[in-house]
Amino acid sequence: MTRHIVERLLISVPVLLGVLLIGFLLLQVVPTDPATVLAGPTASAEDVARIRESMGLNEPVWYQFLIYIGRVLQGDLGRSFISNTTVLSELGNTIVPTIELMIASLIWAVPLGILLGTLAAVRRGGLLDRAIMAFSVAGVSMPIFWFGLMLIQYVGFKWQLLPFQGRAGPLWTLEGLSHIALPAITLGGIFVGPVARMTRTAVLEVLGADFVRTARAKGVGEGRVIMRHALRNALIPIVTLVGLQIGFLLGGAVVTETMFAWPGVGRLAVGAIVSSDFPLAQGAILVLALSFLAVNLAVDVLYAYLDPRVGRA
Amino acid sequence: MTDATQDAASPAATTTAADALKRQSPWRRLLRDKAAVLAGSFLILVVLAAIFAPLLTPFDPYDTNMRMRLKPPDDVHILGTDTGGRDILTRLLYGTRTTLMIGVSAVIMGGFIGALLGILAAFYRRLDNPIMRLVDVLLSFPSILFGLAIAAVLGPGVDSLLAALTVSAVPSVARITRGAATVVMQQDFMEAGRAVGVSDFTLIWRYLTLNCLSTIMVYLTLQFGQTILLGAALSFLGLGAQPPTAELGTMAAEGRNFLFFAPHVSTLPSVTIFAIVLAANVLGDALRDVLDPRLRQ
Number of domains in chain B: 1
Examine the pLDDT at A295 and tell me if it is beyond 90: no
Distance CA A30, CA A109 (A): 41
Among the ranges given (A143-157, A255-269, A282-296), the one the predictor scored with the smallest mean pLDDT: A282-296
Closest CA to B145 of A251, A77, A291: A251
Count of pairs with CB atoms under 8 A, one residue in A, one in B? 136
Examine the pLDDT at B16 and tell me if it is beyond 70: no
Q: What is the CATH number of the domain that holds B36?
A: 1.10.3720.10
Max mean pLDDT among A45-49, A212-216, B45-49, B76-80 falls in B45-49
Of B143, B249, B260, the CB nearest to A157: B260
Distance CA B170, CA B147 (A): 14
| Confidence category of residue B294, pLDDT binned at 50, 70, 90 | low
C-alpha torsion sign, points A255, A256, A258, A264: negative
Measured between beta carbons, which residues in chain A are less than 8 angstroms from residue B253?
Answer: 145
Distance CA A112, CA A240 (A): 17
CB B281 within 8 A of CB B225: yes
Examine the pLDDT at B9 and tell me if it is beyond 70: no
Percent of chain B with pLDDT over 70: 90
Of A143, A270, A292, the CB nearest to B273: A143
Percent of chain A with pLDDT over 70: 96
Q: What is the reported pLDDT for B108?
A: 96
Chain-centroid distance, C-alpha B10: 27
CB B277 within 8 A of CB B225: yes
Mutate: best of A153, A254, A262, A293, partner B, most B CBs <10 A: A254
B72 occurs within a structural domain: no
B233 occurs within a structural domain: yes
pLDDT, tens only, B238-288 = 999 898 889 999 999 988 888 888 888 899 999 999 999 999 999 988 888
Of B145, B236, B263, the CB nearest to A255: B236
Higher pLDDT, A243 or A275: A275
Of A14, A144, A259, the CB nearest to B137: A14
CB A295 within 8 A of CB A288: no
Helix (H, G, I), strand (E, B) or coil at B159: helix
How near does any CA of chain A get to the CA of B209, in Å?
29
In this prediction the pTM is 0.86
B146 occurs within a structural domain: yes
Examine the pLDDT at B72 and tell me if it is beyond 90: no
Closest CA to B141 of A15, A129, A224, A261: A15
Q: Using the beta-carbon criterion (under 8 Å), do A281 and B142 form an inter-chain contact?
A: no
How near does any CA of chain B get to the CA of A219, in Å?
31
Helix (H, G, I), strand (E, B) or coil at A187: helix
The residues near B165 (Cβ < 8 Å, ≥ 6 apart) are B102, B103, B106, B107, B110, B147, B227, B230, B231
| Confidence category of residue A15, pLDDT binned at 50, 70, 90 | confident
Examine the pLDDT at A6 and tell me if it is beyond 70: yes
| Confidence category of residue B46, pLDDT binned at 50, 70, 90 | very high
Measured between beta carbons, which residues in chain A are less than 8 angstroms from residue B265?
Answer: none
- A285 has a chain B CB within 8 A of its CB: yes
How near does any CA of chain B get to the CA of A312, in Å?
21
- B14 has a chain A CB within 8 A of its CB: no
ipTM comes to 0.86
Torsion on CA atoms B135, B138, B143, B146, rounded to nearest 10: -140
Torsion on CA atoms B93, B224, A15, A29, rounded to nearest 10: -20
Higher pLDDT, B34 or A306: B34
- B156 has a chain A CB within 8 A of its CB: yes
pLDDT, tens only, B148-174 = 888 888 888 999 999 999 999 999 999
pLDDT, tens only, B188-247 = 898 898 889 888 888 888 888 888 988 898 899 889 999 999 999 999 999 998 988 899
B19 occurs within a structural domain: no
Q: Which of residues 168-197 of B touch A (CB under 8 A)?
A: none
Percent of chain A with pLDDT over 90: 31
The residues near A238 (Cβ < 8 Å, ≥ 6 apart) are A114, A195, A198, A199, A202
Q: Which of residues 252-291 of B touch A (CB under 8 A)?
A: 252-253, 256, 259-260, 263, 266-267, 270-271, 273-274, 277-278, 280-282, 285
Q: Using the beta-carbon criterion (under 8 Å), do A270 and B238 form an inter-chain contact?
A: yes
Q: What is the reported pLDDT for B262?
A: 85
| Confidence category of residue B49, pLDDT binned at 50, 70, 90 | very high
- B101 has a chain A CB within 8 A of its CB: no
Q: Which of residues 172-211 of A touch B (CB under 8 A)?
A: 198, 201
Q: Is A302 exposed, middle or buried (0-12, 13-18, 19+ CB in 10 A)?
A: middle
B290 occurs within a structural domain: yes
Cα three-residue angle B96-B101-B104, rounded to 5 degrees: 115
B17 occurs within a structural domain: no
Q: How many helices (H) and strands (E) does chain A have?
A: 15, 0
Give the range of the structural domain holding residue B245, as residue numbers without chain letter. 27-54+77-296
pLDDT, tens only, B96-130 = 999 999 999 999 999 999 999 999 999 998 999 88
B15 occurs within a structural domain: no
Length of chain B, in residues: 297
B12 occurs within a structural domain: no
pLDDT, tens only, A57-110 = 778 888 888 888 888 888 888 888 788 889 899 899 899 999 999 999 999 999
* Mean confidence (pLDDT) of chain A: 86
How near does any CA of chain B get to the CA of A158, in Å?
8
